[in-house]
Amino acid sequence: MTGLFITLEGPEGAGKSTNRDYLAERLRADGIEVVLTREPGGTPLAERIRDVLLAPGDEPMNPDTELLLVFAARAQHLAEVIRPALARGAVVICDRFTNNLFFKACRCKQVG
pLDDT for residue 45: 96
User: In this predicted model, what pLDDT tens digit does every residue of 22-63 receive, in sequence order?
Assistant: 999 999 999 999 999 999 899 999 999 999 988 877 788 888
Task: Say whether pLDDT at 106 is over 80.
Answer: no
pTM of the model: 0.81
pLDDT for residue 112: 39
Confidence of residue 10 (pLDDT cuts 50, 70, 90): confident
Domains in the chain: ranges and CATH = 4-108 (3.40.50.300)
Question: CA-CA distance, 44 to 76, in Å (whole number)?
Answer: 9
Confidence of residue 2 (pLDDT cuts 50, 70, 90): confident
Helices and strands (DSSP H and E) totals, the chain: 5, 3
